[in-house]
Amino acid sequence: MVRDVGPVSQLFFGRDDAENDLRDGLLRGAVFRPNYAYDEVLTGRKSLIIGRKGAGKSAICRRLAAPGGHPGATVLITPDDAAGDEIRRFELQGVGADTAKSLIWRYVFAVHAARHLTAHARTEHRRRRFPRLRRLPPPVRALRAFLRANGESDDARLYDRVHRGASRLQSATLSLKAFGMVEAAVGVGGGSEGAGASRQLDVLEDWVAAAFTALGCTERHPPLLFLVDQLEQVWTVDADSHALVAGLLLAAKHVTGRYGTPVRTALFLRADIYDTLDFGDGDKFHSDEIRISWTRDGLKDIALTRARASLGTELTEQQLWEQLFPPQVLGEPTPEYLFRRALPRPRDAIQFLNACRSVAHERGGPVITEDDVLAATERFSRWKLQDLATEYLVNRPFLRSLFAMFENTGYVVTRRDLESRFEIRKRTLHRDFPDYTQSLTPQGVIDVLYGTGFLGVRRGDDVVYTGGIQAPPGPGEDEFHVHPCFRPALNSLLSGQRLTVNRDVQLLDEVTEACARILRQMGRSTLPRPVLDRTRARVETLMRQAEEERRLAEGGSLIEVHTHVRFAGRSLRHLAGDLRDAGFPGAPVTRRLDDEAGALLRAAGGAAGSGYGSRSSG
């Protein structure tokens, strides 16, 4: 039996995602806060909603799709893997990939519009506008016949609808007889596949537009709203995924122009996907864009609204931040402390607040204490560092590998420091991520880390963080700060922590990590066992020596770290030479030894040194 430990046991800030929050979280109640982006979509001024993961795109989308969220009818489209694969594979001879994908999206929109019109006419117009008519207007009857003839009368999955449409558009078997036409009448029998598919869709869209006009929907009803969300579920870094999204944008703009005011679209796109798009008509969408951004005041409002909903009381701001939470944490007002350490988006705020509540509940306290918040800070930071790498795994798979450059150092880093740390890892990064070598340069790394919100840049008296499209740091900007969200997970808590001993520890860690990578490579090797055993023993000795030197450096002992690192680098190079002499010049272990040796020697400042470099000393 769960013990009631007071208000904190009932406190809950909601689920991490809008889908689950709608099902069993707080969005079921009146906690949705209409924001600027929601209002712009609701009024039809904006149709392209862009934001980072967790920024609240799906919450807006689900609210618009819910009863009362939009005054007119809505159609929610969320592609799954099967539908995404079908669209990616869709091609038409004679047109480019973007255009081909736009045609299959146009088909999906047209079928949904036709289904809406036939159902809407039966339930609304037949009774109200045509009380004396036994039959509905010809365009509506024709659309109903078209849906039956093409198997689109059912409530099919998106995959089934896409699959049927793709097959018929590619094979010119879309039945247009309901419109008094056959394929030859629209020229499908000649010309390219793309031209034929486009002409077929033109006919279908003409009749959809005619049905809207015949029913007078423009004057009598709010528009039909198409909502497309969760495209990240079907996104991969390839040309077909690019064409899938570009084609969707083209189709959305086409149908709103073709059908006019009876139809609107709202597309919800992750910023990291949208910002990679590059197609000829991309400049036509700027007026449709709105980017979701959040202020600390906005996040405070979310926190208070959700706390009220979970407790079922009209909780005041003072009660939340001075009674349930401690008034201050480390001398800073609690909401300032919390929201300065979270990326500015609702999901992060909700997770951090729930973490504070969970820590307090686990210890059995009636309220959240300063110690609870500090413990939650460590937990939250680890989550977010992991989540950041996952968020950009598709477009920036190397991101996780860059975090090591900031471990156990101060959170302030200069451009020169960053360039030095990158140089140590450059060869390994280029080897592990050969498709991204153009991004893996010192400036490229700065751009990526700034764009993801990991790093901020000092500009004047402020440090500016961004997850959007603001200009990246220029060559003249030389001071960078790790975002407070990630500092605890990286043990990067002090601005002036770059002491000599920390640099020594970092260098010795490089030796340990290099040896560990070599040993893993040897575990996969097919070299003769005696050769492997001899080499492994020497690498393990170097690893133990580095670990012992590290303990001494951490204890404040004055040791010649650079000399030791150069000795380790030369020892690995000599081991590679031994393998070449033994007849294994191209073996993966030989190449790994050479790579790691070179990286260590560069990290230690080159070849200068003492007698440690003799061949026999390896």
Question: Where do the domains of the chain lie?
Answer: 7-17+295-391, 36-291, 399-490, 500-617
Q: Would you say 590 and 578 are in contact if contact means Cβ atoms under 8 Å apart?
A: no
Residue 617, pLDDT score: 30
Average pLDDT, integer, range 114-120: 89
Exposed, middle or buried by CB within 10 Å (0-12, 13-18, 19+), for 37?
buried
Under DSSP, the state recorded for 474 is P
d(CA 239, CA 572): 42
Reduced to 3 states (helix: H, G, I; strand: E, B; else coil), residue 12 is coil
φ, ψ (nearest 5 deg) of residue 57: -65, -50
Determine the 3-state secondary structure of 112 from DSSP.
helix
Amino acid identity of residue 66, one-letter, is: A
Lowest mean pLDDT among 342-356, 398-412, 603-617: 603-617
Q: pLDDT by residue (tens digit) across 377-404?
A: 999 999 999 999 999 988 899 999 999 9
Where is average pLDDT lowest: 66-75, 91-100, 605-614? 605-614
For 42-68, the pLDDT digits (tens) are 998 999 999 988 888 988 998 899 888
Q: What is the pLDDT of residues 461-510, one digit of tens each?
A: 788 887 555 677 888 888 999 999 999 999 987 765 444 446 677 788 88
Residue with tokens 């993801």: 452
- Are the C-beta atoms of 74 and 224 separated by less than 8 Å? yes
| Mean pLDDT within 234-261 | 92
Burial class, 287, CB count within 10 angstroms (exposed 0-12 / middle 13-18 / buried 19+): exposed
Residue matched to tokens 């809950």:
12
| Backbone angles phi and psi of 582, in degrees to 5 | -85, 0
pLDDT confidence of residue 189: 54
Across the range 532-549, mean pLDDT stands at 92
* 283 against 87, higher pLDDT: 87
CATH class of 500-617: mainly alpha
What is the structure's pLDDT at 496? 55
pLDDT digits (tens, 9 = 90+) for 332-342: 999 999 999 99
On average, the pLDDT of the chain sits at 85
Q: What is the pLDDT of residue 611?
A: 31
The amino acid present at 229, given as its one-letter code, is: D
Q: Model confidence over 148-203: pLDDT tens digits?
A: 999 998 777 899 999 999 999 988 888 888 888 765 455 455 578 888 899 999 99
In tens, the pLDDT along 573-610 reads 999 999 999 999 989 999 999 989 988 888 776 433 33
Q: What does the DSSP assignment read for 299-318?
A: HHHHHHHHHHHHHTS---HH
Q: Among 222-226, 324-328, 361-365, 484-488, whose mean pLDDT is lowest?
A: 361-365
Residues 6+ positions from 287 with CB-CB distance below 8 Å: none
pLDDT value for 606: 46
SS3 76: strand
> Does residue 30 have a pLDDT over 70?
no
d(CA 217, CA 542): 79
Whether residue 615 has pLDDT greater than 80: no
Predicted local distance difference test score (pLDDT) of residue 174: 87
Q: How confident is the model at residue 125 (pLDDT cuts 50, 70, 90)?
A: low
The token pair that represents 341 in the structure block: 């350490």
Percent of the chain with pLDDT over 70: 88
Range in 134-143, 351-360, 589-598 with the lowest mean pLDDT = 134-143
Helix (H) or strand (E) holding 515: helix 500-523
- In 3D, which of 336, 351, 368 has the Cα closest to residue 306? 351
As a whole number, mean pLDDT of residues 545-555 equals 80
Q: Supply the DSSP string of 160-201, one letter for each residue.
A: HHHHHHHHHHHHT----GGGT--GGGGTTTSS-HHHHHHHHH
- What is the rounded CA–CA span in Å between residue 486 and residue 477? 22
Q: Quick one: 558 exposed, middle or buried, by C-beta within 10 A (0-12, 13-18, 19+)? A: exposed
Residue 412 has a pLDDT of 92
H or E stretch at 564: helix 561-581
Q: Using the predicted structure, report yes or no on whether residue 410 has a pLDDT greater than 50.
A: yes
Q: Report how far residue 551's alpha carbon sits from residue 600's, in angstroms, rounded to the nearest whole number.
A: 19
> Is the distance from CB of 237 to CB of 92 less than 8 angstroms?
no
When pLDDT is averaged across residues 336-350 and rounded to a whole number, the result is 92
Higher pLDDT, 146 or 550: 146
Q: What is the pTM of this model?
A: 0.71
d(CA 408, CA 419): 17
Between CA 471 and CA 466 the distance in angstroms is 9
